[in-house]
Homo-oligomer: A and B are copies of this chain.
Amino acid sequence: MSRNSAPLPLGSTIGILGGGQLGRMLALAAARLGMKTHIYCPDPLSPAFDVTPNKTVAAYEDEAALAAFAAAVDVITYEFENVPARTAAFLAGLKPLRPDARALAVAQDRLAEKAFLTVNRIAVAPFAAIPDLAALHAALDEIGVPAVLKTTRLGYDGKGQRLIRTAAEAADAYAALAPKPLVLEAFVPFEKEISVVVARNGSGETAAFDPAENVHREHILKTSTVPAAIGAKTARQAREVAEAIVGALDYAGVLGVEFFVLADGALLVNEIAPRVHNSGHWTEAVCVTDQFEQHVRAVLGWPLGDPTRLADVVMENQIGDEIEALPRTLGAGERPHAYGKAEVRPGRKMGHINRVRIRTPLP
């Protein structure tokens, strides 16, 4: 994004790649800012299609459909980091793509991501590239066990990784994971997982939300609690690291950074996501500006909003049929968000609830 690009005017159309819940929530935020939206997704049942009249149902490799989409919009963003590199390059040649192709390239490859972080002196767990089984054995010698073997690409919600407890498990783990190449990471004895959602716009303004403390269940995020039970220094460092990352990427948009917190409060970056983030859904209920509006403001080249938090909150994902009780059981202090997915499936993220906790009522 060029540093002095003019802010897009009201009534512009934002093209969004991906029609899941994140695309849907981005489209809702864009509408609040007076924007039109156009959703591009191969899945004809995409929940984001319910919040705009403008959609394209086509593969991400369909260049005719991509060209028509680009012609219909003023700026393009996305809800997921696995936008194919060729798709990103093709679209970026036609309309501004924000965040840009470099952010995608770094975030969609674990090895590129770790190299980027290391070059920028941001701490990550010890790791090694695993081009073949011999490299895995060598890396296990150096890093030790337990360690986690992961695909470099296309992993999410715990998919695409194997814990290796002894060197004897190496060959099976190597054979089980695809696509190759792989990466081996030391198994870090972390105490907590936290994340920071940070925004940056083309003028170089940055704004980080408070760190959230994340708990997973069956490898899927279950709750994000804010404030996280961490020291003030750790919280400040987490925000600073997140701001350093978007600065180093010359980034425009919102980005999620997941951290491991060690016993001494030290932080290691686990991974980054160049998009709005599940662990930032709490911002919707209690921040002056939420992550979705913040992303849209950044993508439009508008001034960023205030990320200040007004109350404590616990965000709880509604997985599978948990969502169905919501119309009856919803409490007064609960702010629900349901994604409008046509089919309830086990393990599927169907919505979330923000439970607002007011510590100090206004006078």
Which residues of A does B touch, CB under 8 Å? 7-11, 24, 28, 31-36, 49-53, 55, 207, 285-286, 288-289, 293, 297, 300-306, 308-312, 323-324, 326-340, 342, 351, 356, 358-363
Contact = CB atoms under 8 A, between A and B. Distances in A.
B310 A327 contact: no
A332 B304 contact: yes
B286 A310 contact: yes
B306 A332 contact: yes
A31 B362 contact: no
Contact of A303 (B50, B306, B331, B358): B331
Given A11-B340, A336-B33, A330 B302 contact: yes
A261 to B, nearest CB: 21
B362 A309 contact: yes
A328 B359 contact: no
28 contacts: A7-B327, A7-B328, A9-B324, A10-B327, A11-B342, A24-B31, A28-B51, A32-B337, A33-B338, A34-B339, A34-B351, A35-B340, A36-B50, A36-B340, A49-B53, A50-B53, A52-B53, A207-B332, A286-B310, A289-B332, A301-B327, A303-B329, A304-B332, A305-B334, A305-B335, A306-B332, A308-B333, A308-B358
Contacts of A36: 50, 340
Nearest to A355: B288
Q: How many monomers of this chain does the complex have?
A: 2
A305 B8 CA distance: 35
A311 B362 contact: yes
A342 B34 CA distance: 10
A317 to B, nearest CB: 14
A356 B306 contact: yes
Given A11-B342, A50-B36, A303 B332 contact: yes
A293 B311 CA distance: 19
A249 to B, nearest CB: 22
Contact of A333 (B288, B340, B362): B288
A255 to B, nearest CB: 19
Best-surrounded residue of A51, A302, A304 (most CB of chain B within 10 A): A51
Nearest to A307: B332
A8 B327 contact: yes
A230 to B, nearest CB: 15
Nearest to A205: B332
B28 A31 contact: yes
A362 B362 contact: no
B289 A335 contact: yes
B34 A338 contact: yes
B310 A358 contact: yes
